[in-house]
Structure 1
Amino acid sequence: MSGSSFGKIFSITTWGESHGAGIGVVIDGCPAGIPLTENEIQRYLDRRKPGQSKYTTKRNESDSVEILSGVFEGVTTGTPISLLVRNQDQRSRDYGNIASTFRPGHADYPFTEKYGIRDYRGGGRSSGRETIGRVAAGAVASLLLKELGISVRAYTKSIGPYEIDEKDYHFEEIEENSLYMPNRKTAEKAGEYISSLMAETDSCGGIIECTADGLPVGIGEPVFDKLDAMLARAVMSIGAVKGVEIGDGFAAASSVGSRNNDPFFSEGGVIRKKSNHAGGTLGGLSDGSRLVLRAAVKPTSSISREQSTVNTDGENVRMRVVGRHDPVIVPRAVVVVEAMTALTIADLLLQNMCSRMENIKKVYGAHTGSDTEAASADELS
């Protein structure tokens, strides 16, 4: 299976299956000298682990991370960083009834057609537990960004019909509710909505918003590797995400140029924008303002309501998905969106270092060949 790696310089490769021995990631290209401990990574993993509230799966996993390589005396060494989370609470028997049946909304059918075999226990490689590796790597990327004064933050903007307007954001309330919403009252209403769906053996989706502050101007490449294009690729690679928008996104299609453009102004010699409809990118490059992206997350596919499907013999059948599943994926996916955003920015930042000769000279000096030859001659005389 190809396609398990992401990034060019700060690159990651995730591995493992939902009901295998464990899940992990190998990070390559991380600079040496970044303070890193298991506790710092664990804080991110705790935000996505199961069993946090009545709205998440009851699978009992501590998701405890182990650093296997790439760190010495609490600091990254510049060598590959290998991170492992062992699976502890697999109940593979819950999935015996889907061994020969394709679950609606899942990758079972195309996966089987592609490979001729699939690990039906919890979805195998297609399981949401694969995102453990992404989050662990994203924690490391976030520490790199922090060293540069860049912060990334994600939260739940909406669940089902309950959406929070930007003017009603209270960021201090994000950690005060299990849905990670920046408005406690809306979170309470959304919680009641989820509970009503749970009673009906149904599920819902929502929107995750992610912002990045402190980005320098010029991150990203102007053609295929645009900042917004790379972010879209990164976030769309998350299993349940069905759409990504930057800034005003789809709303820009019904706007007009005079309103959608962001006027520039100078303040103390610093160029700024009066608005941010573009969401922090222009021509695929960061423009120095806040980066804003949103991810649309579909309703959880695994519901215990009886549904129509087909088995591996091509017969029409009825099935009910059993086991432990989230009635809404959004809260646990918040940190995954944050991680993929951090990974994208970290990789593009490192790529951007070679965009100007002056940057290279800052690292390697401005000595010319003649200077070197003259220095050698002096040493010989």
Structure 2
Amino acid sequence: MSNILGSVFKVLTFGESHGKLLGCLIDGIPSGFYVNKHKIQKELNLRKPGKSNLVSLRKEKDKLKIISGIFCNRTTGTPLGLIVYNKNKRSLDYKNISKKFRPGHADYTYYKKYNIRDYRGGGRSSARTTVSIVLAGSICKYILKDIYCIDFFSFISCVGGNVNYNSFSKNIKKTIKNKDSLGSSVNILVGNIPNGIGEPLFEKIESEISKTIMGLNAVKAIEFGSGIKCNSYKGSENNDNIYKHGFKSNNSGGVLGGISSGQNLKFTVHIKPTSSISKIQDTIDNNLVEEKIETTGRHDPCIGLRIIPIIESAVAIVIFDLILKHKFSFFF
């Protein structure tokens, strides 16, 4: 199992949905950075569950605890350890599915690969583990902001196939009553990206971002710039004409040949409906016996409502890692 993200700025993530804690160990962060605990906590608060009846009702404070790598509020250059404790576990909610596989979930594949699985909330396959990404990524976000003025702008663009923002809540409430879930899409724009980040051919900036984003729970697709629509464009329509003051359009999504063009980095992420639903479905158990399954517990009816800080954190890690790797940092 691969639990490490990055090549220079390396993030090792650990923990399970119903374990004692979740966290990350960051290796490769330069010394001297001021670590703002309040900004990290702010990102954790944006991600945490239990904030409304439209998301998972699991009540977690997700209180940040720094365990290593900091002295006088600044990084020492040694591994930086960050953790969050799980306080509101209800593992018995999953007892009825301990030997059954949830359709659409990683239960089946984890069991086939490892011959064992943590059925309590999905263990390591749970979206709860994205706490670790936010812990590390929030640091990258405010470093990128403070040094390079890099900003993130994100919004939910689609819920259940509907692009009308005013109807999102209504659709989600209706879906909850029907014991089901909805897919969604999120648009991400990253502003003030420096020119020249990314390495062709196989470490393109969009390749590195795509690999990381596709590693997040429930993400099924990502498209940059004009995305799949480019298959209906002519070259003269899709090309971004260049002038001395910049580009006329941004169908490329801010990337040319795998290298940042200095335009806004623009992409869309598509997220599948939550697999854990209380609607009765068909499945099998560990002995290949066909069964009915009804998943109880507390789950998000639409993952898109809480995924934005996770995606932004993941992208921030990639960008900061590439900056350090390709020596665009002010340290060199």
TM-score (norm 2): 0.97
Q: Is the 8 A contact 1:29 1:80 kept in 2?
A: yes
Counterpart of 1:377 in structure 2 is: none
Query: Please, which runs of 5 or more residues in structure 2 have no aligned partner?
Result: none
Counterpart of 2:304 in structure 1 is: 330
List per-residue Cα deviations over 1:129-153 (Å, max 9, x = no partner). Answer: 1100001101011122112221223
Counterpart of 2:286 in structure 1 is: 312
Name the SS for the 1:158 alignment partner: strand
List per-residue Cα deviations over 1:225-278 (Å, max 9, x = no partner). Answer: 0001111101111111000001111111111100000010003xxxx1110000
Give the distance between the partners of 1:161 and 1:309, measured in 2 at CA: 26
Query: Please, which runs of 5 or more residues in structure 1 have no aligned partner?
Result: 164-185, 364-381
List per-residue Cα deviations over 1:198-230 (Å, max 9, x = no partner). Answer: 111111011011111111111000111000111
1:71 equivalenced with 2:64 (yes/no): no
Counterpart of 1:108 in structure 2 is: 107
Name the SS for the 1:15 alignment partner: strand
Aligned counterparts, 1:258-273, within 5 A: 258-267=236-245, 272-273=246-247
Aligned counterparts, 1:24-173, within 5 A: 24-146=23-145, 147-163=147-163
Bigger radius of gyration among the two: 1
Which one of the candidate residues 209, 214, 217 is aligned to 1:239? 217
Counterpart of 1:189 in structure 2 is: 167
Name the SS for the 1:12 alignment partner: strand
Q: Structure 1 residue runs of 4+, over 3 Å off?
A: none
Tell me the amino acid that sits aligned with residue 345 of structure 1. Answer: I
1:298 equivalenced with 2:272 (yes/no): yes
- Highest relative contact order (Cα 8 Å, sep 6+), 1 or 2? 2
- Aligned-CA RMSD value: 1.4
Name the SS for the 1:233 alignment partner: helix
Over the matched positions of the two proteins, sequence identity in percent amounts to 40
**1:74 CA drift (Å):** 1.6
Aligned counterparts, 1:211-226, within 5 A: 211-226=189-204
Give the distance between the partners of 2:268 and 2:217, measured in 1 at CA: 15
Give the distance between the partners of 2:326 and 2:244, measured in 1 at CA: 25
List per-residue Cα deviations over 1:115-167 (Å, max 9, x = no partner). Answer: 0111110000001111000011010111221122212232212112332xxxx
Give the distance between the partners of 1:153 and 1:79, measured in 2 at CA: 32
Name the SS for the 2:46 alignment partner: coil
Name the SS for the 1:46 alignment partner: helix
Q: Is the 8 A contact 2:283 2:290 kept in 1?
A: yes
Name the SS for the 1:47 alignment partner: helix
Counterpart of 1:376 in structure 2 is: none
Q: Is the 8 A contact 1:152 1:342 kept in 2?
A: no
**1:32 CA drift (Å):** 1.7
Q: Is the 8 A contact 2:9 2:26 kept in 1?
A: yes
Name the SS for the 2:288 alignment partner: coil
Which one of the candidate residues 184, 188, 193 is aligned to 1:206? 184
Q: How many residues align?
A: 331
Q: Is the 8 A contact 2:185 2:271 kept in 1?
A: yes
Q: Is the 8 A contact 2:161 2:183 kept in 1?
A: no
Give the distance between the partners of 1:221 and 1:309, measured in 2 at CA: 44
Name the SS for the 1:103 alignment partner: coil
Q: Is the 8 A contact 2:136 2:317 kept in 1?
A: yes
**1:75 CA drift (Å):** 1.6
List per-residue Cα deviations over 1:49-100 (Å, max 9, x = no partner). Answer: 0111111111111011101111211222221110000000111100001111
Name the SS for the 2:268 alignment partner: strand
Which one of the candidate residues 258, 281, 285 is aligned to 2:259? 285
Name the SS for the 1:62 alignment partner: coil
Aligned counterparts, 1:346-361, within 5 A: 346-353=320-327
Q: Is the 8 A contact 1:154 1:337 kept in 2?
A: no
Give the distance between the partners of 1:56 and 1:225, measured in 2 at CA: 36
Q: Is the 8 A contact 2:12 2:26 kept in 1?
A: yes
Which one of the candidate residues 274, 278, 281 is aligned to 2:248? 274
Give the distance between the partners of 2:229 and 2:77, measured in 1 at CA: 43
